[in-house]
Every structure is written in C-alpha cells, then in structure tokens.
Amino acid sequence: MNYKSLLAKPFANVIHNSIRKGMMHAVQHQDLIFKNLVKQGAKTQFGKDHQLTAGLDYKAFSQSVPIRDYELMKPYIEQIKAGKPNILWKGKPIYFAKTSGTTSGVKYIPITKDSIPNHIQTARNALFCYMAETGNTAFANGKMIFLSGSPVLERTGDIPTGRLSGIVNHHIPAYLRSNQLPSYETNCIEDWETKLDKIVQETLNKDMTLISGIPPWMQMYFDRLIERTGKKISEIFPNFSVMVQGGVNFQPYRARLMESIGKKIDAIELFPASEGFFAFQDTMDQEGMLLNTNSGIFFEFIPAAEIFNESPTRLSLKDVKLGENYALIINSNAGLWGYNIGDTVKFVSLNPYRILVTGRIKHFISAFGEHVIGEEVEAALQIALEKHPAKITEFTVAPFIQQGEGKSYHEWYIEFETPPSDFNAFAASLNEALSNKNVYYQDLMRGNILLPLQIREVQKSGFIQYMKAEGKLGGQNKVPRLSNDRKIAEGLQQFLIA
C-alpha cells in the first residue's frame, strides 16, 4: 500500500465520523449560520438597504430580504466590480466565478475568503466519506482527472476572475498535485476538442484510478479512448475504480457509461455550482445527497409551484417535507442573499437531510398548461428503457405547437447509441410513463388537446455538433432536458436522421 492511501485511511475515518455526528444537528447548524450571516451582513451596504440587524429572526428576515435572481442582484455586483468594499459581504471578494447565464449574459459570482472553504472541503469530504465507508483508499495512489476550466485568471477591477473549476484548480492540496491530470498546460487550452485530444494523449498510458466530470464530458472522453485503442476503459485503466460526477442527473447516462467502462464501478454524485457546493453523496447504500448544512450557507425552500408568486411561501430546513419539489434559495458568506439558484430539489430523507436535484426552474414544458419537469421526463424515459432496451447518448424535449385541437404534441429529440428494436412500442411506453407521472399531460391527451409524443432521432454525435455550433461544447455546458420554446429543436433539425 502506497503511503498516500495508508495516510488517507485514518484521516478519512476522522472526517467521516465528524460528518456523521454533524448530520444529526443540521437544524441547529443552520440556526447558527443564519445568526452569523445576519450579524456580518448588517455591516454591509446590502444589510443597511434591507434593515439587517444582529439578532433579527428568520420571519423578519424573510420579510426584509426578497427572493432575487442574478439580474436583481446585479446592481450590487456592479458596485463590487467598481472597487467598492463591504457591499454584499465584508471587504471584497477574493475571486469572481464567471459563468454564463441564460438571461443575464455573463454572471460574476463573488467568492470570499469565508466562502472558499465550502468549495474546497466539500469535494474532499465526499471522497473521504467514500473511503471510510467502502475501505477503497487504493485510488489515492494512482492518477486522477479533475477536469477544470482554464486555471488562467483574468481580472475584473482588482479581483481575479475565471471559471469556478479553474479557480478551484489553484486550491487542490499539494499532496494531490502529483496525482492530478491533465497537466496545467492542457487545462489552459480553450478549444474543447483540442483539449480533449490532448487529455487522451496525456492519460492513455497512465494508471488512472479516479475520473471526475459531468457525465456527457466523461462519455466523450471514453469514446475518444475507445476509438483510439479499440478497448474498453477497464482494459485501458485496470485500476480505475471511482467516478465522480455532478451537474446533471446521472441515471440517463449510467448504462452507456458503464458499458464503455466494461465493468461496474462506484460513482459519487456531487451538487456544486458557482454559488456554492450544496450537497454530496455521503454513502453508497442510501438514495440522495447529504445537504451541506454546516458550510456557510443558510438554505431556504420555496414550493416549486409558488416560485413565480409575488409572495411565495419560504421555509427553513426544519419545515420541509419529504417528496415535495422545492426551489432552492441560498444565503451565504459569499454575500448572496435570498438568491434563487434556479434548481429544484426534493427531500428523500429528513434524518439526515438528503436531497435529489429534480430539475431547473426555467427548464419545463407548459405550452399547454401541463408543466412537465425534468424529473418526470427522466423517470419516464427510464421506465421505457426498462421495457424496451436501448442505449441513449443524449436527449431533449420541446413542444410542437400546431393550430387546431389534437394536432400538437411533445417532440423528443433522442440520440441513440443503440436504438430500441421497436420504435413505435418504445414511444408508446414513453408516452404512457409520462402520462402516469403527470396527470395534466394525461388530461390534455384525453381531452384531444395533445397527440401522443413523437420521437425525432438525432444522428450520432449530433448533440455534440449542435453544442459546437452554439459555441457551448465541453466544460460544464449541458444540453437542457426541457425547453418551453423551439430554439433548441430548431437548432437540431440539421442533425436529424431522415
């Protein structure tokens, strides 16, 4: 046993035991974080504008601090960019995480000295929980991919600015630096396909033991390796044993990824974002990810159906219920207040508090009043695949609106690695499963408002070509599962199989 895995074992047990104890006091931790946030926030420009005072209770806070998205937070961000201190949090941020927004263009998310440990320590905690639970520490001896955006940072005013993954790259512990791939030079490559080819070249003959990234990226990486060698990933990397993933629901990608690997390996799920690291998988035998309740973030939850209301119901952790869809709202020591991150979650356990990410608030179809969400289409697809085996590379869904009753339908754009043997039966099963998941969708078909869904088959690598044409290939970019308009559908037309 190499010294790294030998040293990791006792440290992993310490971290694991600490998390186990802490998860039993999640509500108390949230109360303490709330009090500290309000105390510190009272000294800022935002605090003065919203009458924050030390000792303010949650009810008064929720009345003083409205729910905001980035666009409404932007005036404060602009003041920080202009060099003013003590705007959203004490002093100035140590970084801006630069990310693309759908309506706001480029977003600049502050990362402070107080908030950076949340981003660094949570990924570490996930790995240590895995080590302690499974006993697998051997992967610490091999090479690991921590795919990131370019670690080269620009400056916004006097604040270093870049992709979150590139910022985090600067904080990887020294003891992991020698294990880390790809090289710094390769990480700095901006063109995605050039970067991917270089990653394949650098890793092909290495002892890769852990690979992390969003599932579509990992599949592209695996495809290039298989194309280059003609071998399964487990033959190329016999000691590869841990896959770390996040950013999208893993389930639609699992079967094809595991087939590419050639054996079953452990997968650890994470829930990171530029605004914070919200949850991580702490155990292999329970559903969901452990909410990060003691890491500088005070969470609020709004019933998803109320998120666009003028005065939605706002709940703290102690008032949430199992199985309900909530919009996730954060208040953090990065200086984000009443901030709507755009994701919906539901609790699968309240002791401890574990969640599933169920979709994006803006990613839904309700062209006819059905309000179909990401969780429903992904679950329906899984049911159809169990009845009619196939392998799917990628998919998205859009409404097809035709004048006149009984002429409109949901249009599914699916890229198959292996198509089902009977397309019509597959589509019928998919439509039935979605009807069972969403009663409004079912009623619209019974009322002759909607036809059953139709499938458009996308050619091999069609989604990659579409993302490339949109300038969004690679990194953390993801194809939305659902759109309430036809923009993505129209962009995919040139990549359909006739």
Amino acid letter, residue 119? H
Q: Give the residue extent of every domain in the chain.
A: 1-361, 364-495
- DSSP type of residue 5: H
Give the model's pLDDT for residue 101. Answer: 53
Asked whether the beta carbons of 423 and 453 are under 8 A apart, the reply is no
Count Cβ atoms below 10 Å from residue 174 Cβ, excluding itself. 6
Give the model's pLDDT for residue 3. Answer: 59
Task: Please calculate the CA angle 480-69-49 and round it to the nearest 5 degrees.
Answer: 170
Q: CA 164 to CA 169: how far, in whole Å?
A: 8
Look-up of token digits 């002093």: 91
Give the model's pLDDT for residue 344. Answer: 92
DSSP 447-473: TTSBPPPEEEEEPTTHHHHHHHHTT--
Q: Is 178 exposed, middle or buried (0-12, 13-18, 19+ CB in 10 A)?
A: exposed
Give the model's pLDDT for residue 103. Answer: 46
Give the model's pLDDT for residue 440. Answer: 84
The second-level CATH assignment, the architecture, of 1-361 is 3-Layer(aba) Sandwich (3.40)
Q: Is 90 exposed, middle or buried (0-12, 13-18, 19+ CB in 10 A)?
A: middle
- The residue length of the chain stands at 498
Ordered alpha helix ranges (H), 286-395: 374-387
Residues 6+ apart with CB under 8 A from 90: 40, 43, 44, 112
Give the model's pLDDT for residue 102. Answer: 46
Q: Write the CATH number of the domain with boundaries 364-495.
A: 3.30.300
Task: Please tell me the pTM assigned to this model.
Answer: 0.84
Q: CA 69 to CA 341: how far, in whole Å?
A: 7
Q: CA 198 to CA 220: how far, in whole Å?
A: 13
Distance between start and end Cα atoms, the chain:
55
Candidates 274, 261, 267; CA nearest to 167 is 274
Residues 6+ apart with CB under 8 A from 12: 127, 128, 129, 131, 132, 137
Residues 6+ apart with CB under 8 A from 38: 52, 53, 54, 55, 56, 61
Q: Which residues pair with 269 in a beta bridge?
A: 245
Q: Is 224 exposed, middle or buried (0-12, 13-18, 19+ CB in 10 A)?
A: middle
> How high is the mean pLDDT in each 10-residue block of the chain (498 residues)?
71 92 96 98 97 95 95 96 97 92 73 96 92 91 82 92 88 77 88 89 94 87 94 96 86 87 94 95 94 97 89 96 95 98 94 92 80 88 94 92 78 94 95 91 86 95 90 76 90 93
User: Residue 185: which H helix or E strand, with range?
Assistant: helix 184-187
